[in-house]
Each structure stands twice: as C-alpha cells, then as structure tokens.
Amino acid sequence: MFVRALMGMGKVPYYHKMQYSTVLTKIDIEAKIIEQIKAFSKGDKTQLKKDSKFDELKMDSLDIVELVCEIEDSFGIDLTNEEAEKVLSVPSAVDVFHSFLVKNNKAK
C-alpha cells in the first residue's frame, strides 16, 4: 500500500509494509529449521536427517548457540536460556521452537 506522509513543508512518500499474521504448522517449522541447519552446518549436509543430532553434524556448542540465534531471528522470537539449552538435535529444535510458537499463538 502506498501512503503519502507530510514532513515539514514537502510531501515525502513512504511505503507501509503490511505484516500478515501467519500461523505456522509443525511441518512448516521443521522445514524452516532444516533449511537453516543446511545453510549453517559445517559437516556433510547429506548426513542431515530429521532425527540428526548436532554433534553428528560436527557442530560444537558455540555452533549450536549461533544456530539457535539464527533460528530465533528467522522466527522473530527470543527463547529463554532454559529453552535454548534443550536444542541439541533436529527433533529437539523443532519441538522447542514449535512449543514456544504455540504458546505465543504463532503456530498450531
């Protein structure tokens, strides 16, 4: 949507970015997390499966912290430290992020 705003004496155009409230499913969340792990992982990406543990993907604790931060940014959320510490594998990442998003009415 194009909106004109008045600033000072002149008219300055700006675009209003519409934000849509999308409710994600667990499958959507899993797909997004796997996509990010593929982009982030230093190990063999062909070894990545839905049940992979991060240590199997040659990710150390710092890598996992950085990955969790990337995933948080992609969903626009901020996990507590306790929640983030539970993320040790693909399934645990999906479960933690899904639970958080459901709790905050952003997923079903």
Contacts 24+ apart (CB under 8 A), 84-92: 88/53, 88/54, 88/55, 88/64, 89/51, 89/52, 89/53, 89/54, 90/30, 90/33, 90/34, 90/37, 90/48, 90/49, 90/50, 90/51, 90/52, 90/53, 91/50, 91/51
User: Could you give the residue numbers annotated as active site?
Assistant: 60
